[in-house]
Chain A
Amino acid sequence: DGGITQSPKYLFRKEGQNVTLSCEQNLNHDAMYWYRQDPGQGLRLIYYSQIVNDFQKGDIAEGYSVSREKKESFPLTVTSAQKNPTAFYLCASRDRGGKPQHFGDGTRLSIL
């Protein structure tokens, strides 16, 4: 079945460490997105990519980095510069045209 796979489901990070969240899709979608979800705040856009080797900052990009070397993969790195990284992170992808976004099942990141 086609879909979006996020791994791991739960992730723990020590203070000062970088950590990378994986997002893979086999839907052949061009666009991919990373969101951060905090209680009572809905989803906020971190980064998005419309095509391979291209990406743009979203509303809360500080302390995060991404790459898009392959169409199916859009990993997110939470750097030590992100002072409050504890959150639920969701990856999404979208086909061309007016199609809606499809979401993965998320990764919950916690600080030890």
Chain B
Amino acid sequence: AQSVTQLDSQVPVFEEAPVELRCNYSSSVSVYLFWYVQYPNQGLQLLLKYLSGSTLVKGINGFEAEFNKSQTSFHLRKPSVHISDTAEYFCAVRISIQGAQKLVFGQGTRLTINP
């Protein structure tokens, strides 16, 4: 079964510091990967996606992620974080079952930015 593992449940960093949120997946077929952000008491907002092509994907709010097939990873990075980046971040892989597309989510990483 395909799965997603986010290695850190919480990541505290100081404002303007770089951050990396780790995500590993297991899949035996073509991989489509996503990062979503969730602010308190809100839904999920798409940060970026990897469907094919360049392994370095740029998203909104200055985030980027790199698809690494050999390490089955899709880590999210930002060179300099802001207080407003405090949120929960979810990595997800899209799977297809009997023609239906579904997302399998990781457990989430809570990013806390300290001044």
Contacts and interface: CB of A to CB of B under 8 A. Distances in A.
A5 B60 CA distance: 23
B42 interface: yes
B100 A105 contact: no
Given A98-B32, A98-B51, A42 B106 contact: yes
A100 B46 contact: yes
Given A50-B100, A100-B34, A42 B42 contact: no
Q: Is the interface of B mostly helix, strand, loop or mixed?
A: strand
A56 interface: yes
Interface string A38-77: 0011111100101000001010000000000000000000
Q: Interface of chain A, helix or strand or loop or mixed?
A: strand
Interface in B93-115: 99-103, 105-108
Nearest to A3: B43
Contacts, number: 55
A33 B44 CA distance: 13
A71 to B, nearest CB: 17
Interface residues of A, number: 27
Contact of A41 (B42, B44, B101, B107): B107
A48 B100 contact: yes
B105 A108 contact: no
A105 B105 CA distance: 17
Contact of B107 (A42, A56, A102): A42
Contacts of B25: none
A108 B44 contact: no
Interface of A: 4, 6, 9, 31, 33, 40-45, 48, 50, 56, 58, 90, 92, 94, 98, 100-106, 108
22 contacts: A6-B43, A9-B41, A31-B100, A31-B101, A33-B103, A41-B107, A43-B44, A48-B102, A56-B100, A58-B102, A90-B43, A94-B101, A98-B101, A100-B34, A100-B49, A102-B46, A103-B36, A103-B43, A104-B43, A105-B41, A105-B43, A106-B43
